[in-house]
């Protein structure tokens, strides 16, 4: 368990029963022909799938060769996303085989570059784009193609988190249904990071947005915060236990598009708001309950349902397009038009960040590890 290991000396941690053979052999092989080796790295590793607080360990990894097309990056920050947790649990469809380093996105500073690398210089900020496995470590060496240089004018926690959630929000708003200024969308899970981004990105395009949140303590404060971001309407699920939810819309048109990251009753509420011919896109299932739809919604209301998965979209030869979109998103961050709640937690407090991400300490902002 990380909790106890972290107390131990680096040398004892290094000799843990963790399969580092491949990493070690890499370093040994390189000594004959490489001039550059990365600094040793500290990494959050899991040897087997299981509950993240049971199977993750802090491990010291020796330096690795920086080949001619490689870039060695000193990581600055990386988030703990729900999909990271699911990869460790072994329930995410695309995942590395353990032993593996946790994490999928993040930002770092170029530490050194291979002899053939001309596009990056030490000090540049870079993100893996498309994201790739193993961002929860202090140094990463990967081919230059993996890295995308980003604007240093944004806080590191935004550069670290710009892909998985904000890009999902942007793509769902742009790729699923053609929306024009004056149209409306509806979403549940509106306080999630994607939810917060959807509100701001919709507002920037003049698209009305209707938001559904869980009933919770301090709900008025949450509503105010979302309205400050640009939410037109925010309803709790209980407030929508009315005969005709559309009577609550006032002057907002019936939404053509809905986003669901909750499932169960909350998804049904999204469907209730949709206009004839509307589409609901499911990108998460926080309640762990399925989506239930009446026959008449399909036949007489002509509702369509589909899903969105960033990893699939990124897998379809969209590397260049996604980098342009990320630059756009970071531009919005720099202009103060895109913000979301996060908490930077130092790497040595990884356990706390993980506990918060696992919901053990109640509702918490997105945890971002600062290396």
DSSP conformation letters of 173-224: HHHSS---TT-EEEESSTTSHHHHHHHHHHHHTT-EEEEEE---TTHHHHHH
Distance, in Å, from the CA atom of 288 to the CA atom of 181, rounded to the nearest integer, reads 34
Is residue 306 near its own copies by the rule CB under 8 A? Answer: yes
Q: How far apart are the two ends of the chain, measured CA to CA in Å?
A: 20
Active site residue 340: no
Pairing of strands 208-213, 233-236: parallel
Q: How far is the CB of 271 from its own copies (least distance, A)?
A: 11
Half-sphere exposure in the Cβ direction for 291 (13 Å, CA): 23
Q: How far is the CB of 318 from its own copies (least distance, A)?
A: 15
Please choose, out of 17-25, 32-40, 290-298, 359-367, the segment that lies near its own copies by the rule CB under 8 A: 290-298
Please choose, out of 34-42, 126-134, 292-300, 337-345, the segment that lies near its own copies by the rule CB under 8 A: 292-300
The dihedrals phi and psi of 32, each to the nearest 5 degrees, come to: -80, -30
Is residue 90 near its own copies by the rule CB under 8 A? Answer: no
Is residue 81 near its own copies by the rule CB under 8 A? Answer: no
State which residue, 93 or 251, has the beta carbon closest to its own copies.
93
Is residue 175 near its own copies by the rule CB under 8 A? Answer: no
**The binder of its own copies chosen from 7, 32, 299, 336 (CB under 8 A):** 299
Residues 234-263 binding its own copies (CB under 8 A) are: 263
**The binder of its own copies chosen from 147, 308, 340, 350 (CB under 8 A):** 308
Is residue 96 near its own copies by the rule CB under 8 A? Answer: no
Distance, in Å, from the CA atom of 85 to the CA atom of 367, rounded to the nearest integer, reads 12
Q: Which residues have C-beta within 8 Å of that of residue 188, sequence separation ≥ 6?
A: 211, 212, 213, 259, 260, 261, 262, 266, 267, 269, 270
**Residues in touch with its own copies (CB under 8 A):** 93, 263, 282-285, 288, 290-309, 312
Catalytic annotation, residues: 92
């Amino acid at each position: 368990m990380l909790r106890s290991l972290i107390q131990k000396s680096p040398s004892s941690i290094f000799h843990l029963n963790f399969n580092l053979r491949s990493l070690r052999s890499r370093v040994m092989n390189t000594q004959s022909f490489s001039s550059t080796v990365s600094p040793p790295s500290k990494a959050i590793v899991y040897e087997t799938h299981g509950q993240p607080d049971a199977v993750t360990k802090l491990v010291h990894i020796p330096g690795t060769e920086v080949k001619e097309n490689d870039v060695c990056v000193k990581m600055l920050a990386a988030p703990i996303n729900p999909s990271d947790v699911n990869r460790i649990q072994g329930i995410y469809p695309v995942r590395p085989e353990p032993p593996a380093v946790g994490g999928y996105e993040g930002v770092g500073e170029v530490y050194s570059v291979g002899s053939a690398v001309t596009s990056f210089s030490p000090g540049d900020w870079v993100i893996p784009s498309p994201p790739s496995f193993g961002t929860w470590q202090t140094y990463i060496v990967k081919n230059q193609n993996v890295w995308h240089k980003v604007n240093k004018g944004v806080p590191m926690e935004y550069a670290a988190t710009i892909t998985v959630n904000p890009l999902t929000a942007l793509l769902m708003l742009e790729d699923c249904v053609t929306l024009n200024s004056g149209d409306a969308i509806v979403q549940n899970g509106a306080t999630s990071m994607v939810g917060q981004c959807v509100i701001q990105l919709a507002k920037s395009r003049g698209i009305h947005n209707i938001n559904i949140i869980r009933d919770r303590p301090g709900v008025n404060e949450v509503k105010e915060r979302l309205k400050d971001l640009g939410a037109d309407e925010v309803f709790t699920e209980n407030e929508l236990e009315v005969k005709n939810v559309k009577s609550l819309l006032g002057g907002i048109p019936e939404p053509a598009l809905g986003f669901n990251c909750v499932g169960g009753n909350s998804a049904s509420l999204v469907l209730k708001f949709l206009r004839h011919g509307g589409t609901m896109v499911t990108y998460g299932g926080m309640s762990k309950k399925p989506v239930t739809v009446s026959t008449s919604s399909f036949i007489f209301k002509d509702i369509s349902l589909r899903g969105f998965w960033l990893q699939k979209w990124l897998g379809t030869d969209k590397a260049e397009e996604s980098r342009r979109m990320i630059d756009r998103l970071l531009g919005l961050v720099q202009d103060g038009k895109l913000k979301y709640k996060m908490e930077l937690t130092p790497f040595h407090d990884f356990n706390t960040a993980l506990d918060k991400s696992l919901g053990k300490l109640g509702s918490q902002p997105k945890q971002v590890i600062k290396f």
